[in-house]
Structure 1
């Protein structure tokens, strides 16, 4: 059974997103040598690969034709079960590495025009299955039993191949997040936030990090003023550049630690890219 992935926000210093529910990481066979590492066991790479985070982003990128095929097949399956077709069904997309670190980037232009904007996770309702009835949700996601095949499993099988192929692809974030958490907990991250806090103190603000500033002032009269100061301090201390450098360090470690996982994910994506055009054209 596949479910939507949900995450919780830990609001202190460099806020991070941690996976707390949703798809459980599959249990590999011993020969596969795929391990779900804890953040405490992860060390920074001795020599960082510049652009390592971009390499991981490319690994996790879902081609548009794959998503289009997934949506088409999902609608057809649900209609065959007697439900009205939705414009979009939840696809277990893998997000970019930078989006796993909160706060998201903030430019001075954005801060001046809209402050912090919308908080992460607080978006308008969409037609992606979040408002499904229990019966419709069961038809699409399943109920945890093996009594029938829910539509999402059926479509993922058609796109990627058997569950033991696609399950690593759609749960890759489970394996990524400990590395992001290790960076957020690192001395490198602490120094970034310390420099930002010092800059903000010079502007008469006291926050442990930009994520805390965002969370504590959101939707308050001073929110935009704080957001502007926040954005200016980020520019002054090269916040985004330093976050990217830190993520490269820990994504280098991720790439070094997980060759078997990367091979499995790459194969799943290759299968999907081959099968998606056939599914769109109605071929079996």
Structure 2
């Protein structure tokens, strides 16, 4: 399974996907878009706010996820374990990318270094958290063509059911959207437009005395050469600005994600409806 920044909502479904043995082809950096990516065509007239729309879809309802933290804490304590409440974080499309945006100011201040959350963690009672599937059959969900599974007898399953009305609705509300978007994201990164702008970026880097074919490799090499990391990062950021790398990448993400949103309107409605239920139940749970 692909690894990326985990939000408190995404962690639940990531565990579920692990239980189900599901995976997703292709890396998050765009160097291996996978077969599914080739089947996605870019929208001709994409809304420039498409990435923002995708960002909104990636993050579960904040109040509902706060309520789920309360349920998890209570459930894990009753099982003899513990749970540290986490503040729900906003996920973005850029969390799906290995190569993060980089401005000149960021490069000057911290190079490639960035703070990334490790997400939520359960202490003790691992079986209590995941459940066993022995007292109740595992619940499955199939959304965006991705199958996932959660045991309803664990605290994970119970938190989803109490907040979202059912384990299945909870799985739909909190997970798999990021995995489902990956083919569109990878197709955008593998587009001809991205190949062209990457070539321009590489030529700029050569003029700056740095010989890298892609920003991904510049980042990798910088981490292997700590003494040169800041210099490489600054050259990278300047060249990205010079060739409008980030603008081109955002434009391509808009075009391919617009196709994703259009193709999956019915499933997206299912996700949003489940989140509305979670928001309503959250009021009661958070009120105590």
Match for residue 129 of structure 1 among 121, 128, 136: 121
Match for residue 197 of structure 1 among 194, 199, 202: 202
Q: CA deviation at 1:59?
A: 2.4
Task: Within 5 Å, give how 1:29-68 maps onto structure 2.
Answer: 38-68=36-66
- Note the residue ranges of structure 1 that are not aligned, 5 or more in a row: 20-36
Q: Deviations over 1:73-125 (max 9, x none)?
A: 11011111112342439x7x77311221231111212211221114x86x6x6
Q: CA deviation at 1:162?
A: 2.0
- 1:164 maps to 168
Q: CA deviation at 1:67?
A: 2.4
Q: Which moved more, 1:40-49 or 1:267-276?
A: 40-49
* Match status 1:231 vs 2:237: yes
- 2:95 maps to 99
Match for residue 210 of structure 1 among 208, 215, 226: 215
Task: Verify the 8 A CA contact 1:52 1:248 in the aligned structure 2.
Answer: yes
TM-score (norm 2): 0.78
Distance 1:146 1:193 in 2: 54
Distance 2:59 2:203 in 1: 37
Change over 3 Å in CA distance of 1:232–1:9 after alignment to 2:
farther
Task: Verify the 8 A CA contact 2:76 2:82 in the aligned structure 1.
Answer: yes
Task: Verify the 8 A CA contact 1:210 1:230 in the aligned structure 2.
Answer: yes
Q: CA deviation at 1:216?
A: 1.8
- 3-state SS of paired residue (1:149): coil
- 1:82 maps to 80
Match for residue 251 of structure 2 among 245, 253, 269: 245
Q: CA deviation at 1:2?
A: 4.9
Q: CA deviation at 1:238?
A: 1.4
* Match status 1:108 vs 2:104: yes
Change over 3 Å in CA distance of 1:146–1:52 after alignment to 2:
farther
Distance 1:197 1:42 in 2: 27
* Match status 1:15 vs 2:4: no
Task: Verify the 8 A CA contact 1:168 1:261 in the aligned structure 2.
Answer: no
Distance 2:234 2:285 in 1: 48
- 3-state SS of paired residue (1:49): coil
Distance 1:98 1:110 in 2: 16
- 3-state SS of paired residue (2:256): helix
- 3-state SS of paired residue (1:43): coil
Q: CA deviation at 1:208?
A: 2.0
Q: Which moved more, 1:176-185 or 1:64-73?
A: 64-73
Match for residue 280 of structure 2 among 267, 274, 279: 274
Q: CA deviation at 1:155?
A: 0.7
- 2:267 maps to 261
Distance 2:235 2:24 in 1: 26
Q: Which has the higher contact order (CA 8 A, sep 6+)?
A: 1
Match for residue 193 of structure 2 among 181, 184, 188: 188
Q: CA deviation at 1:161?
A: 2.2
Change over 3 Å in CA distance of 1:144–1:171 after alignment to 2:
farther
Change over 3 Å in CA distance of 1:17–1:75 after alignment to 2:
farther
Task: Verify the 8 A CA contact 1:129 1:137 in the aligned structure 2.
Answer: no
TM-score (norm 1): 0.79
